Chains A and B, each alone.
Chain A
């Protein structure tokens, strides 16, 4: 057992911290206010290699381990959740799904440009009528010779209008029983004919991010773009969520740390009743809870990353990390506003943005309710993980760094 981060981990952490502080922090407030993404942010993340971070060098990536993906998520969300969302969808949902399930040809064709940052990836699963009961999605993929014909609408898709590729899950068998056996996943070029997409306006949080919808009208997808087998789409999607949840949970640690740092700075400066408010016990309680929750979320995600590195199943741990982390982040941001008093209520300070950003993460990638049930079912023995036909490859430095 070893709790130390490697020099490599620490240097990546510092690099991402510098990037986010120098290039994003000065702008994020303005773009959050404008409900607009910061211009060029995906390109910069690509140039720095962040879009290929935990992908083997052979596939155009940086060959870092899965723990690094968590550390990067934490550092990015420390500054703004929109940056971490990029890691969740591009890396967690899309690129790593191709690494996990894809054929060598699919890896060469789709994973390499994603990892190099030449293309941006997303995951399109949720529909206007189906989120938590994902097995019952209605979008269809009908096979006709060498192609599938996709029809349907996907909603609440991060980077919907920015991404080039998306992992898309559709129903190939309308009569499957249980219904989740009738789903199939595809890697879809979002510039294909028949695709329209747009941004969703009026979001509570992640306003400097891009969240939208994608409509498919008779979109032809070649058979060779199918990820996994026909009927395996539910498993492909759930494994994508495992990785997405890992990054969301790790990001939550960043948001808690940001709320904590802001609160500590404020509590040491602000004086009431003749002393800094940090000396008041009810303020201390909030600070202590944030410090505790940061450490717990961090340990949870590092453990999840470690399981991923070992090639062990991490569905349960990722769910726990995401559930605990996002709820703790919401509470931390909420408390941070309380500590800041009326100033916290204004967008002069960052904490109100943290608060708005923290809210969505309790809904997406499995709502808190879903994770509560998942954890209960694991504990009660109603749920257990069956081996997958293919597992996410473990982190093997020799293999990952090989040219």
Chain B
């Protein structure tokens, strides 16, 4: 029986939750195409991860546990996935659209010479074809795309519900890693910098700031100093809520905050449950990156700011008045996820 394989993305011992969303999408494909869902875990000392995957509904977990796979080694990972494809008759690969997921999806699809449907938000099977919907032009449009198996699919982060963990555990089967010894492939020389905070794309809550963050007389200093204080305050709110800190391109361009926080067309496209936009006017490029958020709150002094067009709740006020009070209320009501 052909299989739908899900790549379980992780770094160290931390799984990208989007992997469980990919499992849900894979079940849809398995129902439509026939066959069963299997999960694939690659890495070093990944027993616990494989066990967790086993409880999320796959028929089987394939685990390659090898020191050569420690961390993340793109070519070794891609080669291993290719080998599994053949050995296990895998018809469709499903990856979460994380940084590594997208990379491995591309390498696997290209290596197998099959079609790929990246970053899909809806998925179904029609007449034996995989039919998907994916946002294009940064979500300004939706494209229907289709291909016939064998194929590779990547699921947009937070577009599918995560497969829940149950009591039953699928069997875990150990498989071999494919490690190229010729030196003709890409070698990982190591990693630096520890993990930092919640990733923007995976966060369920994002607190985001724009140029308006610097627009205050409540703190002294030049514009940059004000902005820095402002983003510290927004960061505090994000941290309390267990969320991530975002920013508009205007704030990044003005040097208020680093690019890895940028939400928008040339930054990260996000879709959290709650997006709190503070001092963001709502340029079209920014809206493209966050408009699918479930609930958008906009805090802005200008009632005409376009951000209010996409917001569920609006507050026309100075963020410097409102955000400190929000922090206090959240603490006072015991809603803080982090002390």
Contact = CB atoms under 8 A, between A and B. Distances in A.
**Is any CB of A less than 8 Å from a CB of B in the complex?**
yes
B306 A30 contact: no
B301 A348 contact: yes
Interface string B294-323: 000000011010100000000000000000
B176 to A, nearest CB: 51
Contacts of B254: 26-27
Interface residues of A, number: 9
Interface string A8-47: 0000000000000010001100100000000000000000
A9 B316 CA distance: 43
Given A26-B211, A30-B222, A30-B223, A343 B304 contact: yes
Contacts of B126: none
B17 interface: no
A348 B302 contact: yes
B111 to A, nearest CB: 39
Contact of A26 (B215, B250, B301, B306): B250
A270 B308 CA distance: 12
Interface in B199-225: 211, 215, 222-223
A350 to B, nearest CB: 12
Contact of B253 (A26, A266, A343, A348): A26
A269 interface: yes
Nearest to B223: A30
Contacts of B211: 26
Nearest to A340: B304
Main secondary structure of the interface of B (DSSP, over half): loop
B252 to A, nearest CB: 10
A348 B222 CA distance: 17
Given A30-B222, A30-B223, A22 B304 contact: no
Contacts, number: 18
Interface residues of B, number: 11
A402 B302 CA distance: 54
Nearest to A31: B223
Nearest to A266: B304
Interface in A337-364: 343, 348
A27 B215 CA distance: 12
Interface in B231-264: 250, 253-254
Contacts of A343: 302, 304
A25 to B, nearest CB: 9
Nearest to A23: B253
A266 B304 CA distance: 8
Contacts of B250: 26
Contacts of A22: 253
Contacts of A27: 223, 254
Contacts of A30: 222-223
A269 B301 contact: no
A348 B305 CA distance: 12
Contacts of A266: 304
Contact of A270 (B215, B222, B223, B304): B304
Nearest to B306: A269
A269 B304 contact: yes
Nearest to A270: B304
B170 to A, nearest CB: 53
Nearest to B253: A26
Contacts of A26: 211, 250, 253-254
Contacts of B215: 348
A270 B222 CA distance: 31
Interface string A312-352: 00000000000000000000000000000001000010000
Among A26, A266, A270, max chain B CB count under 10 A is at: A26
18 contacts: A22-B253, A26-B211, A26-B250, A26-B253, A26-B254, A27-B223, A27-B254, A30-B222, A30-B223, A266-B304, A269-B304, A269-B306, A270-B304, A343-B302, A343-B304, A348-B215, A348-B301, A348-B302
Interface of B: 211, 215, 222-223, 250, 253-254, 301-302, 304, 306
Given A22-B253, A30-B222, A269-B304, 7 more contacts: A26-B250, A26-B253, A26-B254, A30-B223, A266-B304, A269-B306, A348-B302
3 nearest A-B pairs in the assembled complex, by CB-CB distance = A26-B254, A30-B223, A269-B304
